[in-house]
Structures are given as structure tokens and as C-alpha cells.
Amino acid sequence: MEFIVAKYNYWIYIILMMIGFYAMIAKKNLIKKIIGMNIFQTAIILFFVSTAYKKGTTLPILTSADAHGEHAIAVAQYLNPLPHVLMLTAIVVMVATLGVALAIAIMVYRRYGTLNEDEIIKAMK
């Protein structure tokens, strides 16, 4: 039980990821697939951001100017900022993927008049 509670953010990430994965595979509607894909990607953001967190730490913003290297910066006091930066890039990628996927869904809808995968395949034959 403690194993689950202590690492609850990772469990949420896995659950979210599986929800997204299920929607991508099982749903017939293209928009629902896209939403599933987005949930899948968002789960990864949660994962990365959780890895950055350390107990009892603060934001990595230096309050005192330390240009002369008089006292070393205590790294243990701060969060790791790198995963957040990586996720900023990943969010951009995800938004682009979402845009492309929606654009393709619109193309499909204009051509076949439906977003249901079974009906589209029927219309193609």
C-alpha cells in the first residue's frame, strides 16, 4: 500500500497512459483516437515533471547574486529544471502532432463525410 501511495504520481502516469492507449486502439471515432493520443502524450509530461521533483526543495531561481563564486550553490536545495525544459520542447512537438492529426481528420471528414473508421473503410471500397 505504501508502495502505491508514496509513488502515486507515477501510478497516475501509468493509468493515464493506459487510458490513452485504450482510446487509441479501441475507439472507432477518429477524434476520440486523437484525444486518446493526447492523453498518452500528456502522461509522459507528468512522468518527466515528477522525476524533477525532490522533497523539500524550491524553484531553481538564485536569490542572491553569486557572480564571484564566493559560496557554492547548494544543488540539493533546488528542483532539477532540465526535465521541465525538455517538456517545453515536447509540448511543442505534441501540439504540432495534434495539429497535424486534426488536419488529417478534417481531410478524411471532407472526403468521406464521416469520422467513423468502419464507415470510412466501407466508403473506400
Residue ranges that bind another protein, judged by CB under 8 A: 21, 24, 30, 33, 37, 40-41, 44, 47-48, 51, 82-83, 86, 89-90, 93, 96-97, 100-101, 103-105, 107-108, 111, 117, 120-121, 124
Determine how many CB atoms are found less than 10 A away from the CB of residue 13. 20
- Which lies closer to another protein via its Cβ, residue 58 or residue 107? 107
Cα end-to-end span (Å), the chain: 53
The answer to whether the beta carbons of residues 35 and 23 sit under 8 Å apart is yes
Minimum distance from residue 116 beta carbon to another protein (Å): 11
Closer to another protein at the Cβ: 12 or 105? 105
Cβ–Cβ < 8 Å for 49, 86: no
Cell of 49: 515533471
Least separation in angstroms between residue 18's CB and another protein is 12
Q: H/E element holding 85?
A: helix 82-112
Task: For the chain, give the number of residues.
Answer: 125
Element (H, E) at 14: helix 8-26
Least CB distance to another protein at residue 96 (A): 6
Q: Between 70 and 119, whose beta carbon lies closer to another protein?
A: 119
Complex with another protein: residue 6 or 103, whichever CB lies closer: 103
Q: How far is the CB of 47 from another protein (least distance, A)?
A: 6
